[in-house]
Amino acid sequence: MTTKIEDRGYKLDGGRVGVLLIHGLGGTPMEMRYVALGLARAGHTVHVPQLAGHCGTAEDIKTSVWTDWTGSIDRALDEMRKVCDTVIVGGLSAGAILALEVAARRPDDVQGLALYAPTLWLNGWSVPWYAPLFKLVHTKFVANMIPFVEREPYGIKDRRLREMVVSALSSGDSSQAGLWCTPGGTMLEFRYLVNNVRRRLGSIKQPTLILHPRDDDRADIDNSFHLSRKLGGMVQMTVLDDSYHIVTVDRQRDVVVERSQEFVSWLTTRGQTVSSRSTAGGQRTAAA
């Protein structure tokens, strides 16, 4: 039985440069709050939408499909384009893959990407050995018999923060730290999303920032190496050496904010330079 889900997404007003941040699969907008506040302090407009089916029960998320998640992002992007000339879309884990999807589909509306621990494959060191067998599952009925349960270290290296996350997971309020276990059907939908995006990586030409922990417990860093080779545009990559998967809240969250701010500043300055050269070129042509 599904429930009425309270929208936990939020917006932070700023200037004409916007950053749309996407939380992870089975996660919540709270995962992005530290980064969102850091970017807002730099003067940017920030939107963090809640993905369809999230922040409710396991039954709620079961009813959503990956195109529902992209629909949530499209609505947020449409709103942001009303007030922003430049939009960077960022995402954590599966949220990074959703960011790639919208960039491929709406290249004129997305000027840059920020990918935090992007996850094409669950192949980190804490993923159980039998998890790859899930690729043999192709129907929702069977998939939903296989829950993906959260396990140590829960994507968090900092022990104090990890204890807080476990407490939130155990509280029954999924709006704080997400669900204790993600239904297999939702993971199957995520596979469909990944397959769609992987076919289009070469067409994604927006400048991209990638931050990935060397010791990622859920998604090995080869996820990001693969993206850096396959994406069609320029890639800046930073390897984090003191975080696990949830880099937006773990020990190096300040580094994540700093690099994100630098990337947004570089991207907007680069855009202004290109625009100025184009205008100057036009004036010379007219004068000639």
Q: How many domains does the chain have?
A: 1
Would you say residue 84 lies in a domain?
A: yes
The CATH number given to whatever domain includes residue 223 is: 3.40.50.1820
How many Å is the maximal CA-CA distance in the chain? Answer: 72
Would you say residue 160 lies in a domain?
A: yes
Name which residue leads in pLDDT, 184 or 170.
184
pTM of the model: 0.90
Torsion sign (Cα): 104, 106, 107, 113: negative
Would you say residue 5 lies in a domain?
A: no
Average pLDDT over residues 167-176: 67
Amino acid at 44: H
- How many angstroms separate the Cα of 11 from the Cα of each of 160, 232, 243, 259, 282? 28, 30, 27, 21, 38
| 145 alpha carbon, distance to own chain's centre | 27
For residue 156, what are the domain limits? 10-287
User: Contact at 8 Å (CB) between 91 and 35?
Assistant: no
Among 140, 228, 114, 146, residue whose Cα is nearest residue 192: 140
Q: Of 74-78, 132-136, 276-280, give the range with the top mean pLDDT.
A: 74-78
Torsion sign (Cα): 223, 59, 67, 83: negative
Q: What is the mean pLDDT of the chain?
A: 89
**What is the per-residue pLDDT for 152?**
85
